[in-house]
Chains A and B, each alone.
Chain A
Amino acid sequence: MSKAFVIAETENGARELCAGARKLADEVVLVSVGAPVSGAADKSFHIDVPAGNIADDAYVTVNKIYDAEGGDVVLGEQTLRALSLVGRLAAKLGAAAITGVSAVEGGVATSMYFGGTGVREAKAAGDVAVYTFGPGVFDASEATGTDAVEEAAFEAPENAVAKTGSEALPPSDVNLAGADAIVACGRGFGAEEDLQLARDLAAKLGAELACSRPLAEGVDWFPREAYVGVSGAVVSPKVYVAVGISGQMQHMVGCNGADVIVAVNKDKNAPVFKACDYGFVGDLKTVLPALTAAL
């Protein structure tokens, strides 16, 4: 009997990873440092992290649960806190996590290399394989398991980090993972008010709004969750409309899973036109309203 050991922070992450773990092992053990998660694993543990501690320091407890339960494969959620827990467990096992995994086939994991310049296949050299996955690799709705959740006491490490405050980031209503259509905005938008043109198009298409990296990190026009690309969201809608996006590799790896890619750009030589299904050369200020009206 092979066993998978899942480390998750969010409930959706836990369900996705547990669904994926079923494909890799006979038995699934889940440890969650966020909310308790039922109905996703054969054995589900929850660690209630005290308000004055950081979830990253739950590694003492996580490693103890691993010692008791074991696991041939470890699946970690790709959030900063879960990555800390995965790293601590990997270090203890003499392993190294293969991160950002998009597929595992016969013990060989596929992930990106140099931001999508390459695709890398790698496998664990030791007895235990450790992988982490971003959102959307597995289907959360496929997770099944016990309703019982066992509480595991948080044990602070020596020299624990103290959490003295926390401020929720503005809530995000971005849901790119489940979107059928996405309108993504790039640097071609010269002014923030022009984004309304993209919003109008998105409303007509029933699409979610997204962006390339500069609009989420250079200027703050979008929340970070809306950024599609190598270190952001990787999406696979039916239709992806890239507006004012040049089409750098680092962005396109985030949307290559789309069934159809549509591009609007004023530069006819933009690389995005070599990577799209339907392209239109023109100023987005005239093309977008016309397209919205014609739909």
Chain B
Amino acid sequence: MNILVACKIVPDDQDVKVAGDGSLDFSRAHKVVSTYDLNAIEAAAQIAAANDGSTVKAISVGPKKADDSKTKKNILARGVDELFLAADDALDGLDAFATAAELAKLAAKAGDWDVIITGDGSADLYAKQTGVQLAAKLGVPFVSGVVSAEAADGKLVAKRLLESEEETVEVPLPAVVSVAPEFAEPRIAGMKDILAAGKKPMNVEGAEGAPAKAVEEVSVKAPAEVDRKKEMFDDVDAFAAAVKAAL
């Protein structure tokens, strides 16, 4: 099976600083692979391992800073054979429509594929829309919330964990499949994997032009602090009285 896995490279939110005017400063943040996309990479690697002769290629779209040596190796150290990355500041902060269009271009460059796996949602927007937009762009089936999948004769037999039911489905290939974090815990990449990753093919390119925006960002700010009383108690009766009064 030829598997593509889409992943997003995002600033590490641990490094985000709140500026004096309440805006968020990401300029010093390290680049990391979006959390749930690590589960998607692991899912791709596990499906590949279960099907002899499989390949796993990663596709990603982001700003120039996404072309980061450590992050690229981190992707390739997790059972991924090859990386296709479009890194250009014209591709920064793309919405799901534009991201899907760019990912579709990379998918075409990555050669024949049977399935494209995406994560549950990205760390920044958690919109859960890139997978379905990509499926729409490519004109293929889409399922989300997948917690297990087995390849069988031109299809993927998968279980989806939905809000109130678990659904078993047969997805004709090619298709785009979004996996839930429960599908697979990301592996811890060892030193040997990381060294080997440095020798794997990395195809990095710029943008052919700035894609049109479907969504315009107006502002990003730190959340307003809710004013709380912060009253501490050491007497349970007084504490109980305060709780009771609030009801």
Partners in one complex: yes
A175 an interface residue at 8 Å Cβ cutoff? no
A197 an interface residue at 8 Å Cβ cutoff? no
Check A84–B164 contact: CB distance below 8 A: no
Q: Please name all residues of chain B whose beta carbon is closer than 8 Å to the beta carbon of A149 when the two chains form the complex.
A: none
Check A161–B172 contact: CB distance below 8 A: yes
Check A116–B214 contact: CB distance below 8 A: no
Interface SS of chain B = mixed
A276 an interface residue at 8 Å Cβ cutoff? yes
Q: Which residue of A lies closest to B120 (CB)?
A: A231
Cα–Cα, bound, A291→B236 (Å): 6
Check A99–B128 contact: CB distance below 8 A: yes
Tell me which of A23-31, A40-48, A162-170 binds B. Answer: A162-170
A:192-246 near B, CB below 8 Å: 205, 217, 225, 230-231, 238-239, 241
B:146-166 near A, CB below 8 Å: 157, 160, 162-166
Check A118–B223 contact: CB distance below 8 A: yes
Cα–Cα, bound, A50→B125 (Å): 33
B92 an interface residue at 8 Å Cβ cutoff? no
A:143-164 near B, CB below 8 Å: 157-164
Check B243–A262 contact: CB distance below 8 A: yes
Q: Please name all residues of chain A whose beta carbon is closer than 8 Å to the beta carbon of B126 when the two chains form the complex.
A: 99-100, 112, 115, 230-231
B218 an interface residue at 8 Å Cβ cutoff? yes
Check A83–B132 contact: CB distance below 8 A: yes
Q: Please name all residues of chain B whose beta carbon is closer than 8 Å to the beta carbon of A142 when the two chains form the complex.
A: none
Cα–Cα, bound, A57→B132 (Å): 11
Q: Please name all residues of chain B whose beta carbon is closer than 8 Å to the beta carbon of A168 when the two chains form the complex.
A: 164-165
Cα–Cα, bound, A259→B241 (Å): 16
Return 20 A-B CB contacts under 8 Å, by A number. A87-B131, A90-B214, A91-B137, A96-B129, A99-B125, A99-B127, A114-B16, A123-B215, A125-B215, A126-B214, A159-B175, A161-B169, A164-B157, A166-B168, A169-B165, A230-B126, A278-B233, A278-B243, A291-B240, A294-B239
Which B residues fall within an 8 A CB radius of A? 13, 16, 24, 95-98, 100, 121, 123-129, 131-133, 135-137, 139-145, 157, 160, 162-172, 175, 181-182, 212-224, 226, 228-234, 236-237, 239-244, 246-247
